[in-house]
Amino acid sequence: MKNKEFKAESKRLLDLMINSIYTNKEIFLREVISNASDAMDKLHYRSLTDDKISIKKSDLKIRVDIDKEARTITVEDKGCGMTEEELDKNLGTIARSGSFAFKEENEKKKDIDIIGQFGVGFYSAFMVSDIVTVESKSIDSDKAFRWTSKGVDGYSIEECEKEDVGTRVILHIKEDSEEENYSKFLENYNIQDIIKKYSDYIRYPIEMQVEKSRKKEGSEEWETYYELETINSMVPLWKKSKKVIKDEEYDNFYMNKFHDYEKPLKVIHSSAEGVYTYNSLLYIPSHLPFDYYTKEYEKGLQLYSSGVLIMEKCPELIPDYFGFVKGLVDSEDLSLNISRELLQHDRGLKVIAKNIENKIKSELEDMLANDREKYEEFFKIFGTQLKFGAYSEYGINKEKLQDLLLFYSSTEKKLVTLKEYVERMKEGQKEIYYACSETVDKIDMLPQVELLKDKGFEILYFTENVDEFVVQVLREYMGKTFKNASSGSVDLDNIDEKEKLDKANEESKDMFEEMKKVLNSEVEEVRFTHRLKNHPVCLTSEGSISVEMEKTLNQMPMNEGIKAKTILEINENHEVAKKLKELFASNKEELAKYTKVLYAQARLIEGLQIENPTEISSLMCEIMCK
Ligand code: ADP
Across 79-88, 92-101, 404-413, 459-468, least confident range: 92-101
Give residue-wise pLDDT tens across range 292-318. 888 888 999 999 887 777 788 899 999
Residues 457 and 552 occupy one common structural domain = no
Cα separation, 135 vs 129, whole angstroms = 16
Rounded to an integer, the average pLDDT of 37-54 is 87
- The DSSP code for 291 is T
pLDDT above 90: residue 519: yes
Q: Which of 142-151, 209-218, 231-240 has the highest mean pLDDT?
A: 142-151
Is the pLDDT score of 622 beyond 70?
yes
Average pLDDT, the chain: 89
Of 19-23, 25-29, 41-45, 418-422, highest mean pLDDT: 418-422
User: Do residue 465 and residue 427 come from a single domain?
Assistant: yes
Identify the residues whose C-beta falls under 6 Å from ligand 1: 31, 35-36, 39, 77, 79-82, 90-91, 94, 96, 121-122, 167, 259
Q: Are residues 409 and 478 in the same domain?
A: yes
pLDDT over 80 at 115, yes or no: no
**CA-nearest residue, atom 21 of ligand 1:** 35
Q: How many angstroms is it from 31 CA to the middle of ligand 1? A: 9
Q: Is residue 214 in some structural domain?
A: yes
Which of the 8 DSSP states describes residue 426?
P
Query: Do residues 216 and 345 both lie within one domain?
Result: no
For a pocket test of ligand 1, which of 29, 43, 122, 255 has the largest count of ligand atoms closer than 8 A to its C-beta?
122
**419-425 contact pairs (CB < 8 A, 24+):** 419/477, 419/478, 421/458, 421/460, 422/477, 422/478, 422/480, 424/458, 425/458, 425/480
Q: Is residue 92 part of a domain?
A: yes
| Closest atom, ligand 1, to C-alpha of 120 | 6
In terms of domains, do 92 and 166 share one?
Answer: yes
Q: What is the pLDDT of residue 558?
A: 67
Confidence at residue 615, expressed as pLDDT on a 0 to 100 scale: 94
d(Cα 323, Cα 320) in Å, to the nearest integer?
A: 5
For residue 101, the model assigns a pLDDT of 46
Distance from C-alpha of 468 to C-alpha of 218, rounded to nearest angstrom: 88
pLDDT at 497: 79
Centre of ligand 1 from the C-alpha of residue 79, in Å: 11
Same domain flag for 149 and 187:
yes
Does the structure show a pLDDT above 70 at 238? yes
Ligand 1 centroid distance, CA of 263 (Å): 22
- In a shared domain, residues 174 and 68: yes
Structural domain of 475: 374-484
Distance of CA 4 from the midpoint of ligand 1 (Å): 19
Residue identifier of the C-alpha nearest atom 17 of ligand 1? 90
CA distance 120 to 100: 12
Distance CA 283, CA 267 (A): 5
Q: Whose CA is nearest to atom 14 of ligand 1?
A: 90
* pTM for this prediction: 0.73
Examine the fold and report which residue of 370, 386, 412 is the final residue of a domain before the chain moves on: 370
Mean pLDDT for the stretch of residues 202-225? 92
548 CA from centroid of ligand 1 (Å): 49
Query: Is there a single domain that holds both residue 72 and residue 98?
Result: yes
DSSP letters spanning 134-184: EEEE-TT-S-EEEEEE-STT-EEEEEE---SSEEEEEEEEPPP-SS--GGG
In a domain, 62, yes or no: yes
Q: Average pLDDT of 108-124?
A: 66
Q: Of all protein residues, whose CA lies closest to atom 19 belonging to ligand 1?
A: 35
Q: Are residues 307 and 366 in the same domain?
A: yes
- Ranking 208-222, 345-359, 554-568, 577-591 by mean pLDDT, the lowest is 554-568
Write the CA distances from 250 to 121, 188, 263, 266, 393, integer angstroms.
18, 27, 9, 10, 35
d(CA 504, CA 497): 11
Q: Does pLDDT of 273 surpass 90?
A: no
**Among 52-56, 328-332, 547-551, 589-593, where is mean pLDDT lowest?**
547-551
DSSP-assigned states of every residue in 103-126: HH--SHHHHHHHHHHH--GGGGGG
The count of domains in the chain is: 4
Spell out a b/e string for 165-188, using b for 16 or more CB atoms within 10 Å of the CB, else e. Answer: bbbbbbbbbbeeeeebebeebbeb
Backbone dihedral angles phi then psi of residue 288, each to the nearest 5 degrees: -75, 130
Q: Which of the residue ranges 49-53, 172-176, 371-375 would you say has the lowest mean pLDDT?
A: 49-53
- Please say if the pLDDT value at position 550 is more than 90: no
Residues 364 and 408 grouped into a single domain: no
241 in the same domain as 219: no
The residue whose C-alpha atom lies closest to atom 23 belonging to ligand 1 is: 36
Give the domain CATH number at 580. Answer: 1.20.120.790
Secondary structure (H, E, C), 173-221: ECCCCCCCCHHHHHCHHHHHHHHHHHHCCCCCCEEEEEEEEEECCCCCC
Give residue-wise pLDDT tens across range 401-428.
999 999 999 999 999 999 999 999 998 8
Last residue of a domain, one of 484, 509, 544: 484
The CATH number given to whatever domain includes residue 445 is: 3.40.50.11260
Looking at 344, 370, 396, the residue that finishes a domain is 370
- Residue 489 falls inside a structural domain: no
With the most atoms of ligand 1 within 8 angstroms of its CB, the residue from 38, 99, 169 to mutate is 38
Atom 12 of ligand 1: nearest residue by CA position: 90
Give the CATH number of the domain where residue 271 resides: 3.30.230.80
Residue nearest to atom 18 of ligand 1 (CA): 35
Ligand 1 center–CA 189 separation, angstroms: 26
> What are the tens digits of pLDDT across the range 432-458?
999 999 899 999 988 888 888 888 899
Q: What pLDDT was estimated at residue 15?
A: 82
Examine the domain organization and report whether 34 and 159 are in the same domain: yes
Which band of pLDDT confidence, cut at 50, 70 and 90, is reported for residue 341?
A: low
Q: Does residue 97 register a pLDDT over 60?
A: no
Question: Which residue's alpha carbon is at the smallest distance from atom 15 of ligand 1?
Answer: 90
Is residue 365 within 8 Å of 358, Cβ to Cβ?
no
Q: How far is the CA of 35 from the centre of ligand 1 (A)?
A: 5
Distance CA(217)–CA(467), nearest Å, equals 81
